[in-house]
Chains A and B, each alone.
Chain A
Amino acid sequence: MNPQHLNASSLKSRFTRRFLRALTKINAQKPISSSSPREIFQRYGRIKAAADKSMANSVRSRRTWSRAMLWKLRSRSYRQASSGRRSAVKTSTTTSHQAIRKKTNHEKENKPTKTGEDQVGFVVQADELRELVPGGEAMDLCNLLDETAHYIKCLTTQVQVMKKIVDFYSL
C-alpha cells in the first residue's frame, strides 16, 4: 500500500476512524483480564456491532443497505436497553417497526405481479441475495444488484481494515 496516499475522507479512512474510536471505547469499558467464553462472546458481539455500525455510518444514508443496517442496529440496541425495564421507547420503536414492515410488505406485494414478465429466471438467487444484503427485501433486481456491488465494496474495505488492526494488535 502506498504510504503516501491517504485520502482524508475516503471510505476506508472514515470507517477506520469510527471503528477505532468504538474499539477503544469497548476496550476501556472492560479490562480484559477475564477469559471466560461468555465475556469474550459478549465482547465479540459488541465489536461486531461496532464494526457494522461504523461502516454504516461511514456511508451515511446514501445507500439503502446502510439505512437498513443502521435501523436494525438501533432497534436492536433499543430492545436490549429496554429489556430490563418497561419502556415507552420500546413501544414507539415497535410501532415504527411495524410501519416500516408494512411499507415493505406493500412493496413486496406489488412485486409478484411484475415478476412474471420481468424476471429472467433468477428469482431464487435474487431472494438469497435479498436475505444477505441488509435492506434488500424491498428492492427490485436492478437496485438490488447496485446495492450488492456497493455492499461488497464496503465489506472488503471493512475486512481489510480489520485485518490490519488485528495484525497490528498481534504484533
Chain B
Amino acid sequence: MEPNTGTAETRSNGTASDGDDVAALESLQFTDEIHRLISATTTNNASSFTALLELPAPEAVELLHSPESAKLMAAPAPNIEDFKASFHFPSNSGLIERAARFSLFAGVGNNNNNTSNSPETPSNNPSANPQKAVKSEPAETESSEPLVSDPTVEKRCIKRKDREKKVKGSTKKSKTAMNESSEDAEKLPYVHVRARRGQATDSHSLAERARREKINARMKLLQELVPGCSKISGTALVLDEIINHVQFLQRQVEILSMRLATVNPRIDFDLDSIFTTESGSLMDSNFPSMVMPLVWPEVQVNGNRQQYQQQWHFDALQQAVWGREEVCNNYITPENSLLSYDSSANSATLHSNQMKMEL
C-alpha cells in the first residue's frame, strides 16, 4: 500500500537524489497553483448543517514526500496539462485537482502506464477517492468528506516525514508555500496532518492537531447556526454567544409552555384528521376555502376576552412565524368572518386544517 499511500503526497519537497532540478520545476508550478488555491479557498462558505452532522469533519492535509515517487517525477510531466483538462471540478476544489493529479502521477508510475489520460487510470484506490470525493462535492455544500483515517498510514507517514526532514533539500520556499496550502487544504478526503516546520511530528501532536481542526470545523457550523455569530471572531466569544442562544431558546420554551398553560383550549381538535389525511390534496382543496371563513370562535365568548385576545394576537403577530395575509385581514374584520359560523365542530376541523398547512 505504500506506493498507493504515496499517491496523495505532493512532490514539492524534492529531496530525491536526481530530483533537484525537477523539484525546482515542480516548485515553480506549485507556487502559482498555490496562490490560485489560496485565493480560491478563502471564498469557501461554511457547510450545510446536516452534512456535517452526518459526516465527521475533514482534517488537514498531510503532504508527504515518498522516496519511491521520486523516480516517477520525470515521466508523467507532460501529462499534467491533459489531466488538468480532463478534470471538471467545482471552483473551490483546485486543491483536489492537484491531489488527483498527483495521485494519477503515482498511479501512472505504479502501473508503468504512460498513456494515462484515460479516465480508467483513476481506478487506483487512492486516486479513486479524490474523484469520488469530487463527485460528491457538488452534492454537498461543503467538502466535509468522510476521512480515510488510517492510523497505520499516519505512522508510516511519520517515519517518512522524519526521513525527509533529515534529507531536507533546497526547496525551503516550496515547503513554506505548501505550508500555506496545507492550512487551507481541509478539503482532501484523506487524513493528512501536516507537520509544519519546527513542530513536533510525533503521533500525539498530530492527532491533537487533527482534533483541533475537527473542533474548529464544528465551531464554524455552530456559528452558522446561531444567528449573529458569523461576525464574531474569536472562539471564546463565539462560545459565549452560543451559550446565550441556548439559554435563550430554553427560556423561550418555558415561556411558551407557560402561555400554553394559561390559554384555555376550547377546541378539541381532531388529531387524526390532521395527520392521517393526505397532506397535499387536503391542503390544496382547503386552502382557498380557508381564506375567508377563518373563524375565531373565541370571539363569541365574551367581549373582554375578545379584546384581550385580539391584543395578544396582535403582539403574537409581530413574532409569528406565520406570514399570511388573511390573518391580518381577519384581525381587522373579525365580525364579518364570524357571522358565517355556527358549529364549533366545523371550526375545529378547519382550524386543524389550518394548523396542518402551517406545519
Query: Which A positions have Cβ atoms within 8 angstroms of B?
Result: 1, 3-4, 6, 8, 12-13, 16-17, 20-21, 23-24, 27, 32, 40-41, 43-44, 47-48, 51-52, 117-118, 120-122, 125-126, 128-129, 132-133, 141-142, 145-146, 148-153, 155-156, 158-171
Q: Chain A interface secondary structure, helix, strand, loop or mixed?
A: helix
Among A48, A126, A170, A171, residue most surrounded by chain B Cβ atoms (within 10 Å)? A171
* Complex partner residue of A171 from B219, B239, B261, B298, CB under 8 angstroms: B298
Interchain nearest-CB distance for B279 vs A (Å):
4
Give chain B residues whose Cβ lies under 8 Å from the Cβ of A158: 249, 253
Counting CB contacts under 8 A, is B323 at the interface? Answer: yes
Whether A47 lies near B257 (C-beta < 8 A) is: yes
Whether B254 lies near A48 (C-beta < 8 A) is: yes
How many Å lie between the Cα of A103 and that of B354 in the bound state? 48
Surface stretch bound by A, among B11-19, B86-94, B95-103, B308-316: B308-316
Whether B250 lies near A32 (C-beta < 8 A) is: no
Give chain A residues whose Cβ lies under 8 Å from the Cβ of B39: none
Give chain A residues whose Cβ lies under 8 Å from the Cβ of B262: 40
Q: How many residues of B contact A (CB 8 A)?
A: 67
B266-291 contacts to A, CB under 8 A, are 267-268, 271, 274-275, 279-280, 283-284, 287
Among B249, B296, B323, B351, residue most surrounded by chain A Cβ atoms (within 10 Å)? B249
Whether A166 lies near B316 (C-beta < 8 A) is: yes
Give chain A residues whose Cβ lies under 8 Å from the Cβ of B279: 6, 8
Whether A149 lies near B316 (C-beta < 8 A) is: no
Whether A6 lies near B265 (C-beta < 8 A) is: no
* Complex partner residue of A160 from B242, B250, B321, CB under 8 angstroms: B321
Give chain B residues whose Cβ lies under 8 Å from the Cβ of A126: 239
Interchain nearest-CB distance for A31 vs B (Å):
10
Surface stretch bound by A, among B27-35, B104-112, B220-228: B220-228
Whether B250 lies near A132 (C-beta < 8 A) is: yes
Whether A3 lies near B283 (C-beta < 8 A) is: yes
Counting CB contacts under 8 A, is B322 at the interface? Answer: yes
Whether B319 lies near A163 (C-beta < 8 A) is: yes
How many Å lie between the Cα of A160 and that of B268 in the bound state? 21
Surface stretch bound by A, among B147-155, B170-178, B188-196, B210-218: B210-218
How many Å lie between the Cα of A156 and that of B208 in the bound state? 33
* Complex partner residue of B257 from A48, A145, A169, CB under 8 angstroms: A48
Counting CB contacts under 8 A, is B346 at the interface? Answer: no
Interchain nearest-CB distance for B300 vs A (Å):
12
Give chain A residues whose Cβ lies under 8 Å from the Cβ of B358: 1, 3, 164
Counting CB contacts under 8 A, is B264 at the interface? Answer: yes
Instruction: Give 4 closest A-B pairs by Cβ, nearest first.
Output: A125-B239, A155-B249, A44-B261, A43-B261
Interchain nearest-CB distance for A150 vs B (Å):
6
Among A24, A129, A170, residue most surrounded by chain B Cβ atoms (within 10 Å)? A170
Given contacts A129-B243, A149-B53, A168 and B354 within 8 Å (CB-CB): yes
Whether A47 lies near B260 (C-beta < 8 A) is: yes
Counting CB contacts under 8 A, is B25 at the interface? Answer: no
Given contacts A32-B264, A117-B208, A152-B226, A166 and B259 within 8 Å (CB-CB): yes
Counting CB contacts under 8 A, is B328 at the interface? Answer: no
Among A121, A129, A149, residue most surrounded by chain B Cβ atoms (within 10 Å)? A149
How many Å lie between the Cα of A161 and that of B355 in the bound state? 10
How many Å lie between the Cα of A52 and that of B351 in the bound state? 25
How many Å lie between the Cα of A118 and that of B209 in the bound state? 9
* Complex partner residue of B322 from A27, A118, A153, A167, CB under 8 angstroms: A167
B144-187 contacts to A, CB under 8 A, are none
Given contacts A20-B271, A133-B246, A1 and B211 within 8 Å (CB-CB): no
* A/B interface sample: 30 pairs, CB < 8 A: A1-B323, A1-B359, A17-B275, A40-B262, A44-B261, A47-B260, A51-B253, A122-B235, A122-B239, A125-B236, A125-B239, A129-B246, A132-B247, A141-B215, A146-B53, A149-B221, A150-B53, A152-B245, A152-B246, A155-B250, A156-B249, A162-B256, A163-B321, A164-B322, A166-B259, A166-B263, A166-B316, A167-B316, A170-B298, A171-B313
